[in-house]
Amino acid sequence: MTETAHRTQAQRREQTRTALLDATIDSLVEVGYARTSVQEICARAGVSKGAVQHHFTAKAELMAAAVEHLTTKLRRRLAASLADLPGGGTGVAAAIDLLWAGYSGTLSTAVTELWVAARTDPELRAAIRPVDRALGRATLEHVTQVAGELPPERAEMLFWLTVNLTRGLALDAELGGDPNRRRQLLDEWKRIAVLLYQDATTEPS
């Protein structure tokens, strides 16, 4: 078999895998975890059930891979955006907006569905926990690099405060909370974070 044929087979396998992952995310967002069956995913991806079994040994593995697929795209987008941020307090406020955009929307909806299900499903919990932690570590690394003059421990504190706030606000959005209140809370956190940043960078060494 020629190298081109091998490459074409590999490309087809990757296309099928990507179609399954995208279909899984779409289903989680549109119909929720309870109705996201393997049959539903196959129908959305336009593949057979055997194709799923070829790529994934269990539904939990497919779910974790789908979130990882989504978060990989998010990490790349965040990395590119964070690299272009201005310095100082303006950059802190802009970074918070980027994290809010990244941790809300499609990612928030899909992950919320999975974490609620994972509460009583040990296999699913074990599958998605490493993915969630990897996203946090990778994003923190980018934020720390951008922070520059900010002490690493202070950058980490601001990052995790922002992540937990944005996740809470994203859940509020899922539950139909007031968008004006969310914006006010996010703006207030940006104001506080800028002050914390300024205090940390002006402290005597």
For the chain, list the domains and their CATH numbers: 1-56 (1.10.10.60), 58-202 (1.10.357.10)
pLDDT at 45 over 90: yes
Model confidence pLDDT, tens digit, residues 136-170: 888 888 777 766 677 888 888 888 999 899 889 98
CB atoms under 10 Å from CB of 31, counted, come to 14
Top-confidence residue, 179 or 106: 179
What is the average pLDDT across 36-43? 93
CB-based burial of residue 92 (10 Å sphere; 0-12 exposed, 13-18 middle, 19+ buried)?
buried
Contact 75, 66 (CB under 8 A): no
pLDDT at 4: 55
How far are the Cα atoms of 31, 113, 182 from residue 166, in angstroms, in the given order?
A: 23, 17, 9
AA identity, residue 156: E
Note whether 17 and 69 are within 8 A (CB).
Answer: no
The sign of the torsion formed by the CA atoms of 112, 114, 118, 124 equals negative
pTM for the structure as a whole: 0.73
- Euclidean distance between CA atoms 91 and 96, whole angstroms: 9
Q: Which two tokens stand for residue 68?
A: 């990882």
Q: What is the DSSP letter of 203?
A: S
Tokens found for residue 164 = 């937990």
Please tell me which residue, 184 or 119, carries the higher pLDDT value.
Answer: 184
Mean pLDDT (the chain, rounded): 85
pLDDT digits (tens, 9 = 90+) for 48-87: 888 888 889 888 899 889 888 888 887 777 777 777 777 7
Residue type, 185: L
